[in-house]
Amino acid sequence: MTAFKDGELPKLVKTLLRPAPKLPLAVLLTRAVRRIAVRRSDLIERLGPTARVPIAVMPSDLPFSFRVSLDGANARVDVVTAGEAEKAAARIRAPLLILLGLLDGTYDGDALFFSRDLVIEGDTEHVLALRNTLEQADLTPAEFAGLVGPAADLVNRAAAELLSGARRLVQAPAPQKLPV
């Protein structure tokens, strides 16, 4: 099996995504975030002023970034270039699967930050507020899709399996010790 840079998606994926239309992705993500903002208004309240601050989420292994504003019913996700993302008040940069792992609670943000697998720039107080809110929220993929009951369970299990498989695929094998 070909080893990829630890946690990074293969370059082929990045190449295939480069020409992908950004508007449909932005619309889909905006709808999902607005759904959460309406259903879980407690999260937006907890964010306080941070809800109105654009935060860039910059997957280091994708050819685009996301500028996220979580201002309740006005919440939106824009798919932007890295240059546009740099203008955001706060920026979070890591491989996509690590960013998704932060969202679903698989990874510890502090450990990733101190190991430099996660880079935070700009006004870090907003990133910290977002992190604390997400940790408390315990959001699931089904919530983003607006699903409940058996359909939600099915989507959550499928998403967990898909992410787990993708993480296994991109993990570089442990270095082998050479015989002395």
pLDDT at res. 14: 74
Three-state SS for 5? Answer: coil
Higher pLDDT, 23 or 108: 23
How many Å apart are CA 14 and CA 63, to the nearest integer?
6
Q: Which helix (H) or strand (E) holds 78?
A: strand 76-80
Tokens standing for residue 41: 């208004």
Query: Which H or E run includes 65?
Result: strand 65-69
The pLDDT confidence band at residue 171, using thresholds 50, 70 and 90, is confident
Burial 65-81 (b: 16+ CB within 10 A, else e): bbbbbbbbeebbbbbbe
- Evaluate if residue 15 carries a pLDDT over 80: no
Say yes or no to pLDDT of 30 above 50. Answer: yes
Give pLDDT, residue 125: 93
Q: Which is it for strands 65-69 and 90-94: parallel, antiparallel or unpaired?
A: unpaired
What residue ranges in 70-153 does DSSP mark as E strands? 76-80, 90-94, 119-122
> Largest alpha-carbon pair distance within the chain?
63
Residue range 33-45, pLDDT digits in tens: 998 888 888 999 9
- Measured distance CA(25)–CA(127) in Å, rounded: 23
Q: Which residues, listed in sequence order, are joined to residue 92 by a DSSP beta bridge?
A: 57, 120
Strands 90-94 and 55-59: parallel
User: Residue 153: which pLDDT band, with cuts at 50, 70 and 90?
Assistant: very high
Q: Which residue would you say has higher pLDDT here, 40 or 107? A: 40
Task: Specify the pLDDT at position 142.
Answer: 86
Residue 119, phi-psi category: left (phi > 0), alpha (psi -120 to 50), beta (remainder): beta
- pTM tops 0.75, yes or no: yes
Please tell me which residue, 140 or 54, carries the higher pLDDT value: 54
